[in-house]
Amino acid sequence: MSQAVRGIVAVLLGLGFALAITYLVDWVNLRMYPLPTGADLADPASMKAAMATLPRAALAIVLGGWFVSALAGACAAAGVARPAGWPPLAVGVTLFAIAVANMQMLRRPVWFWIIGVAIYPVATWLGARLGGTPVKRRG
């Protein structure tokens, strides 16, 4: 497999892995902190109002999920790409863009924006380092 194809596969796998983690964390979060009765997932205004009622712990869980998903996605992309190169960065930039769109659509406090923006460079760098480090064989 050529390096370019391996890179594209690495990005797709990293994104798939990261988004699966994000959805799982969101699912657990909604079980712990359900949306108010009458919140309509299809109505942006209803969702903004519902998000404003969530406790800080619910928002912290979202941020933790974003960190773990970006870390795992970049790590997976780096592990598949070998050498890591651009695929973990592509995963991190894509996840960052999705997060910014999410934060713009839903009412988020300033502290959430600050942490949300800071998460992606750190998690992407760390994931790329962890995934791009070859396993040393004993023997």
Print the domain residue range for 83.
3-132
CA 119 from chain centre, in angstroms, equals: 9
Summarised one tens digit per residue, pLDDT across range 21-74 is 999 999 999 999 998 888 887 888 888 888 888 899 999 999 999 999 999 999
Q: Is residue 139 part of a domain?
A: no
Average pLDDT on 87-108 reads 92
Q: 3-state SS of the chain: helix, strand, coil percent to 5? A: 75, 0, 25
End-to-end CA distance of the chain: give it in Å, rounded.
29
Q: Is residue 99 part of a domain?
A: yes
Q: Is residue 137 part of a domain?
A: no
Question: Into how many domains does the chain fold?
Answer: 1
Q: What does the block give as tokens for 91?
A: 């995963």
